[in-house]
Amino acid sequence: MDRRSILRLSAAAGAGLIGPVFIPGLSRADRFGEFQTPFAGGLFYTKDRPGRWAKKAAGHLPIIERRGDRIRVVTRHPMQGYKHYIVKHMILDENFHYVREKVFDPGVDKPVSEYDISGLKRELYAISMCNLHDTWVSPLKF
């Protein structure tokens, strides 16, 4: 199933036009570092599955630095105004549920964000979204 179909189904389900949509294996990674879902190389790109952006991985993968109950997420990507930039970072829990996000102003911000992760105990995922090269995810296992 391609990304547009998933987004259309999600929007239709959210609007109540159709019942809940279940796509097996779509909600989370099977093991740390090995994404066995349609996300990897489809909706989300990873270190191991960079898809069509293999040459862009180093500048787009979020790097997670943990210190106790705080994490710092850094994307080594230049912010070239509104031409090419990191739109935002998102933190998702082990079930790919939204936890927090930081939206960047490409004229001012660097793609660096910090979060309090107290209460999260199993694993989390940092998302880095580029306006040109899609969405990248890195895992952090506790």
13 with 19: CB under 8 angstroms?
A: yes
Write the pLDDT tens digit of every residue in 46-64: 999 998 889 999 999 999 9
Q: Is 21 a residue whose pLDDT tops 50?
A: no
Write out the two tokens for 97. 């549920």
Write the pLDDT tens digit of every residue in 92-120: 999 889 999 999 999 999 999 999 999 88
**What's the CATH superfamily of 27-141?**
SOR catalytic domain (2.60.40.730)
Write the pLDDT tens digit of every residue in 28-40: 333 334 444 455 4
Mention every residue, 6+ apart, whose C-beta is less than 8 A from residue 104.
79, 85, 86, 87, 88, 89, 110, 111
